[in-house]
Chain A
């Protein structure tokens, strides 16, 4: 896509542009990157994803000139940086790598203060900024500031890595598989934390990964690269998942592409089924009437604060030996409108009814989602984009 064709009113401006960029390593016959054109928009997370050896990492490193391009130009904030001082450029671009690369002989505070020190900030300002950064990534400055990197876990080290990259408040962050070496549970937490940070900071981020799930989760836009950094498809994740450009993209997405769309939509996008609630004080016959009128033959018992407590159906109400408040089964899992469809699906699979209860932020009953409604939404999404 040509960045100059972007509509200036609707599209955010491109902060970084790669124009006809090529890279051939010395002594190598075939180029690693061929004639790449790519525009990174202000405030977005652009994910570069592709099989290993496709040149995604090389592409990322061309931006801060860790690798010098052999052709083309790189425009950063409107100026061609291919000829300027690379060290000065790098001090204004945050850089996070998979191995983190903290300085083992420097304290956490000194590590985070690296770029501000290179930029010759005064001591007080650096100290204040370091504390701010540690708090930003959820680490106590008093506890962690004086420690050394070897005392950190992998997840903590990468948090410090992110804090260090953000310390001089760069507009742009380049992240090269930042969570690649971290265990899946911690990775998930770091991704969520990072997305929350990004919602606040609105940095322009280029993010490299080989993991399509991570790409879908993190990316505002995803560029799927094939060999020599040729862009196979560049678009929003939901478009790529539902409408892959070609066989290469489809293969790369894998068979689970449609399942991945589950993480893109939220529970609030589904039509809630009106499963009737039964409020406290209702008689057994009122409850039976609710079950009769329910499309699925079940009703939800609420407590005085409107919190759903139990599922009831005809059979459980027929057992007159139990008081109404103990009829049926307890509601174990509840969804909120912000949860993803993936959460919804897993909640439904935990109940035998194929339904899950949705509550608002205060835990009050809103309705239920059914597996049929979810399937309908998926089909719609697929048709809508195809």
Chain B
């Protein structure tokens, strides 16, 4: 596993990109001429509300994904359920092949509008990376380490908790990072079914042909995505077990 250097790079590159983007955002905000329509779209209280919605959507769907995908991944890597594993990874891959747009609409048809529907749709869409990385993370643990743990009298639960999970933490977290970036990006579609978010601004900018609004909305989304990714990089740096 040589992702130590990659993680270190993340800790520099991600915030650097964030800073560049923020500066660019400030420049555009200050120097572009704002016509009344643009000003209305970029009303700060509006933007703040949308930003908050965007964060809430991404946060809760990520939490949901973690709570569902990690136990599921653990379950299917236990002895008895190996057949289930391939079926499930296949099915989820299929789900990911459905366009995000379509998936949100499907959930809307099924559950009606609102933030909860969006959170569930986002979670369904970003389940796969976490599930797959949990499975891969557990399966890449050197079998001789598990064998020696078993040989010393560790119970299956002790082997999972003291060996398999700690050793797969780096891989699982990188799956979660992928998932958060997906949920933030896909969260811009939430406005379609009344879930709010910065998609409203981008959409308004598109409809009314206001490039400044489009840019501001998109840049804010990107900043949210970058900060989630940065949080993930920090987690990867500090939650990875020592000695690896």
A pairs with B: yes
- Interface residue ranges, A against B (CB under 8 Å): 64, 66, 86-92, 95, 97, 99-107, 114-115, 118, 148-150, 161, 164
Cβ-closest chain A residue relative to B162: A103
Per CB-CB distance, the 9 closest pairs between chain A and chain B, nearest first, are A101-B148, A148-B243, A91-B153, A105-B241, A99-B144, A95-B151, A90-B153, A101-B144, A87-B153
Q: Report how far A114 CA is from B158 CA in the complex, Å.
A: 11
Judge whether B163 and A103 touch: CB under 8 Å.
yes
Q: Report how far A86 CA is from B152 CA in the complex, Å.
A: 10
Chain B residues in 8 Å Cβ range of A164: 152
* B5 in contact (CB, < 8 A): no
Judge whether B152 and A95 touch: CB under 8 Å.
yes
* B150 in contact (CB, < 8 A): yes
- Interface residue ranges, B against A (CB under 8 Å): 142, 144-155, 158, 162-163, 166-167, 241-244
Chain A residues in 8 Å Cβ range of B155: 87
Judge whether B152 and A115 touch: CB under 8 Å.
yes
Choice from A92, A105, A107, A161 contacting B244 with Cβ under 8 Å: A105
Judge whether B144 and A100 touch: CB under 8 Å.
yes
Minimum C-beta distance from A307 to chain B (A): 50
Q: Report how far A164 CA is from B153 CA in the complex, Å.
A: 13
Q: Report how far A150 CA is from B1 CA in the complex, Å.
A: 12
Q: Report how far A161 CA is from B145 CA in the complex, Å.
A: 11
Choice from A88, A97, A150 contacting B147 with Cβ under 8 Å: A97
Q: Report how far A99 CA is from B153 CA in the complex, Å.
A: 18
Cβ-closest chain B residue relative to A61: B151
Minimum C-beta distance from A45 to chain B (A): 19
Judge whether A104 and B243 touch: CB under 8 Å.
yes
- Among B148, B152, B242, max chain A CB count under 10 A is at B152
- Among A99, A101, A102, A106, max chain B CB count under 10 A is at A101
Q: Report how far A354 CA is from B23 CA in the complex, Å.
A: 88
Cβ-closest chain A residue relative to B155: A87
Minimum C-beta distance from B165 to chain A (A): 10
Judge whether B243 and A149 touch: CB under 8 Å.
yes
Beyond A114-B149, A118-B154, 13 additional pairs, beta carbon < 8 A: A66-B150, A66-B151, A87-B155, A90-B150, A97-B151, A100-B144, A101-B144, A104-B167, A105-B167, A106-B243, A107-B243, A114-B154, A161-B148
Judge whether B244 and A115 touch: CB under 8 Å.
no
Minimum C-beta distance from A43 to chain B (A): 22
Chain A residues in 8 Å Cβ range of B158: 118
